[in-house]
């Protein structure tokens, strides 16, 4: 009797490999398959600014572009696949590689010229400062 290594998620991989193209955009575990991905993003707000944090592990800051156009902030870039070493044989690749783009609408009351982005520990943080707007007082309209 020979021992067989049990892989609990192996049947899930087989199931996704056999599904029709309805789920074709889902990542596949087989080597050499095309994969599409987009980074996870968290958006928060402080009294002074909006913060957009994108998780971009293994993406160099030179490969990331942040743009603002017509009320939308777009984070785009590319995660490049590492070259295989000659003495290394890959058995399974679950990392996503390729181009990505995420766009987010922002409110009108922002300081476009002060938007800045920084990258640290695999997280890109885009700071979108708010503009100081005066609190509008209600105006009473006289009924005639």
pLDDT band at 12 (very low <50, low <70, confident <90, very high): low
For residues 84 and 100, what is the distance between their CA atoms, to the nearest angstrom?
A: 22
For residues 36 and 57, what is the distance between their CA atoms, to the nearest angstrom?
A: 16
Give the Cβ contact number of residue 35 at 10 Å: 16
pLDDT of 120 higher than 60: yes
Q: Residue 144 is encoded by which pair of tokens?
A: 């005639």
Mean pLDDT, rounded, for 115-133: 92
pLDDT in tens, 69-84: 989 999 999 988 777 6
- Do 56 and 64 contact (CB within 8 A), yes or no? yes
pLDDT in tens, 28-59: 434 444 456 789 999 999 999 999 999 998 88
- Do 128 and 106 contact (CB within 8 A), yes or no? yes
- Do 15 and 28 contact (CB within 8 A), yes or no? no
Task: Report the helix count and the strand count for the chain, using DSSP H and E.
Answer: 1, 7
- Do 126 and 73 contact (CB within 8 A), yes or no? yes
Residues contacting 50, CB < 8 A, separation 6+: 43, 44, 106, 107, 110, 127, 128, 130
Domain 35-82+94-131 matching CATH 3.40.50.300: the answer reads no
Print the SS3 string covering 66-103: EEEECCEEEEEEEECCCCCCCCCCCCCCCCCCEEEEEE
């Amino acid at each position: 009797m020979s021992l067989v290594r049990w892989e609990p998620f192996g049947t899930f991989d087989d199931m996704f490999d056999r599904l029709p193209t309805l789920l074709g955009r889902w990542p596949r575990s087989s080597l050499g398959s095309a994969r599409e991905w987009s980074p996870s993003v968290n958006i928060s707000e402080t009294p002074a600014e909006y913060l957009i944090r994108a998780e971009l592990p293994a993406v160099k800051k030179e490969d990331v572009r942040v743009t603002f156009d017509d009320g939308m902030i777009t984070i785009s870039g590319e995660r490049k696949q590492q070259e295989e070493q000659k003495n290394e044989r890959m058995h399974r690749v679950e990392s996503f590689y390729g181009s990505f783009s995420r766009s987010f609408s922002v409110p009108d009351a922002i300081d476009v010229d002060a938007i800045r982005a920084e990258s640290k520990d695999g997280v890109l943080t885009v700071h979108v400062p708010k503009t100081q707007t005066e609190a509008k007082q209600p105006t009473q309209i006289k009924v005639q």
